[in-house]
Amino acid sequence: MEENNIQEKNIEEIKKALVNEQIEDFRSLYLDLHPYDQAQFFMEIEPEDRLKIYTYLSPEEVSDLMEHIDFEDIEPFFTEMDPRFAAMVLSELATDDAVDILNEMEKDKVASFLTIMEKEASDEIKELLHYEEKTAGSIMTTEFVSVYKTQTVKQTMIQLKEEGPDAETIYYMYVVDDDKRLVGVVSLRDLIISDDEIVIEDIMSEKIVHVSVADDQEDVAQTIKDYDFLAVPVVDFQKHLLGIITVDDILDVMDEEASDDYSKLAGISDVDRPDGNPFTAAKKRLPWLIILSFLGMLTASLIGQFEDTLDEVAVLAIFIPLIAGMAGNTGTQALAVAVRGLATGDYGNEGKVSLILRETGTGLITGTVCGIVIAIVISLWQQNLFLGLLVGISIMAALVVATLAGSLVPLIMDRLKIDPAVASGPFITTINDIISILIYFGIATAFMGLLA
């Protein structure tokens, strides 16, 4: 509690120094904060106060705090800066971070900033911008240390001291041959404990895992997770070393992919931000809702096909929400298990077969138990044994089919190279509504005589 009070007091002092244009006091207090806290303060103040910050801080100091702001939210800040200052801030950022920010901007703004930038920084950014989004090439950085296999440890340590300050990481150095092909990796620890005259080729490890520049970012994230890497090298089809991807970049990817999958499971095109425009939010949700409404009308038309059955036994209508709801919930549960397994790479071909068999067994068990319980309750409630059996059998069959649908649909989509998360909760629920109603009224029609 005391630390929070001190932090709040410091924030108030920083605001006071900023408002009163006490530049030295502001710089002293503000730069003493962690860059994350600097970013939070920066985003909360008014635009006119941010304009002062751009004059009080250097481009390098602004770039430090920009690294702690979500790339999707960052464009307005660059728009309000002086274009030349904004270009200098972009130049100070890690190349991959600058590319991520520019990918969120309109093409004319990107061209403007690249024109103003220094040629060296501009060329590095252009090199990454042409890679397709969400691939290893689009998220890699070119700021790394590579060494030749013929160098000595002494030469490498000198090089490391020169290039290290600008590198993304120095815990690993990637070793290349004369043609710039990746041939090994050497750790900082190996360099420190080795004699100066030893050649890198003699201490490097040739067992190196790499990713292709065209690999999907989710596959790269899985590789880093599987091997517990701090960084992974990126190569082209001829194994030339192009860049590296570090674990902090992968954390951003995992957050982005989780948000994307959550959006699709919720049946929207993107996660709505709390400060978003209601018209923008509605625009994202409407296409899905319209599609689902047509599927809902299909469900309604199916019920209409069994109008004679409902006329004969009107009580059947009472249990439509019960059966449809249970089938939808069961299908969504199976869907969540399947999508998560596919996203984490837990399922090979054998794993997918095991998933189907397990979900079939789960559907049979849950369907049988729920069917028996519901049958007993309805039989006692309605004083009609056959009605209880009808609803119980319908629930059992609907839950088995819904569980299978929830697991099979994402597996089929994955096989067709479609994002399994597209098999979203609303779609599975609607599909299972249709299936459960067909089962329910099909059985009811077949045994109409007993019910009447």
**What is the structure's pLDDT at 446?**
78
- What's the number of CA atoms in the CB half-sphere (13 Å) around residue 142? 18
Of 260, 191, 253, 264, nearest to 224 by C-alpha is 253
Tracing tokens 């009609």 back to the chain, one arrives at: 384
- Euclidean distance between the first and the last CA atom of the chain, given in angstroms as a whole number: 71
Of the residues 130, 161, 185, which one is the last residue of a structural domain?
A: 130
pLDDT of 222 above 70: yes
- The CATH number for 203's domain is 3.10.580.10
Q: Is 270 part of a structural domain of the chain?
A: no
pLDDT tens-digit series, residues 351-362: 778 888 888 899
Kindly give, in sequence order, each residue whose CB lies less than 8 Å from that of residue 71, ignoring residues fewer than 6 positions away.
97, 100, 101, 103, 104, 252
Q: Specify whether 193 is located in the same domain as 124.
A: no
Domain count across the chain: 3
pLDDT tens-digit series, residues 379-404: 898 888 888 888 888 889 888 888 88
Kindly give, in sequence order, each residue whose CB lies less than 8 Å from that of residue 327, ignoring residues fewer than 6 positions away.
398, 399, 401, 402, 432, 433, 435, 436
Q: Specify whether 196 is located in the same domain as 337.
A: no
Q: Is 40 part of a structural domain of the chain?
A: yes
Of the residues 91, 106, 130, which one is the last residue of a structural domain?
A: 130
Q: What number is the average pLDDT over the span 107-127?
A: 87
Of the residues 223, 255, 287, which one is the last residue of a structural domain?
A: 255
Of 312, 333, 329, 443, nearest to 388 by C-alpha is 443
Q: Residue 152: what residue type?
A: T
Q: Is 385 part of a structural domain of the chain?
A: yes
Residue 10 is encoded by which pair of tokens?
């410091």
Q: What CA–CA distance (Å, rounded) separates 186 from 206?
A: 9
Residue 204: pLDDT band (50, 70, 90) is very high
Q: Is 267 part of a structural domain of the chain?
A: no
Q: Specify whether 106 is located in the same domain as 211.
A: no
Residue 270 DSSP code: S
291 or 161: which carries more pLDDT confidence? 161
Q: Specify whether 427 is located in the same domain as 282.
A: yes
Q: Residue 117: what residue type?
A: M
Q: Specify whether 177 is located in the same domain as 239.
A: yes
Q: What number is the average pLDDT over the span 182-207?
A: 94
Q: Specify whether 220 is located in the same domain as 343.
A: no
| Domain carrying residue 382 | 278-451
- The CATH number for 382's domain is 1.10.357.20
pLDDT of 44 above 80: yes
pLDDT tens-digit series, residues 240-262: 999 999 988 888 777 776 666 65
Ramachandran quadrant class, 383 (left: phi over 0; alpha: psi -120 to 50; beta: rest): left
- The CATH number for 63's domain is 1.25.60.10
Q: What number is the average pLDDT over the span 319-341?
A: 81
Cα radius of gyration rounded to whole Å, the chain: 30
Of 209, 190, 210, 208, nearest to 200 by C-alpha is 190
pTM for this prediction: 0.58
Q: What number is the average pLDDT over the span 132-141?
A: 88
Q: Specify whether 307 is located in the same domain as 179.
A: no
Report the share of the chain in percent with pLDDT over 90.
31
Q: Specify whether 436 is located in the same domain as 291.
A: yes
Q: Is 272 part of a structural domain of the chain?
A: no
Residue 144 DSSP code: -
pLDDT of 72 above 60: yes
Q: What number is the average pLDDT over the span 254-273?
A: 58
Q: What CA–CA distance (Å, rounded) separates 54 from 31?
A: 13
Q: What number is the average pLDDT over the span 323-344?
A: 78
pLDDT of 412 above 70: yes
Q: Specify whether 99 is located in the same domain as 238.
A: no
Q: Specify whether 238 is located in the same domain as 172.
A: yes
Q: Is 367 part of a structural domain of the chain?
A: yes
Q: Specify whether 245 is located in the same domain as 201.
A: yes
Residue 263: pLDDT band (50, 70, 90) is low
Q: Is 273 part of a structural domain of the chain?
A: no
Torsion on CA atoms 358, 362, 365, 371, rounded to nearest 10 = -140
pLDDT tens-digit series, residues 75-86: 889 989 999 999
Q: Specify whether 219 is located in the same domain as 246.
A: yes
Q: Is 269 part of a structural domain of the chain?
A: no
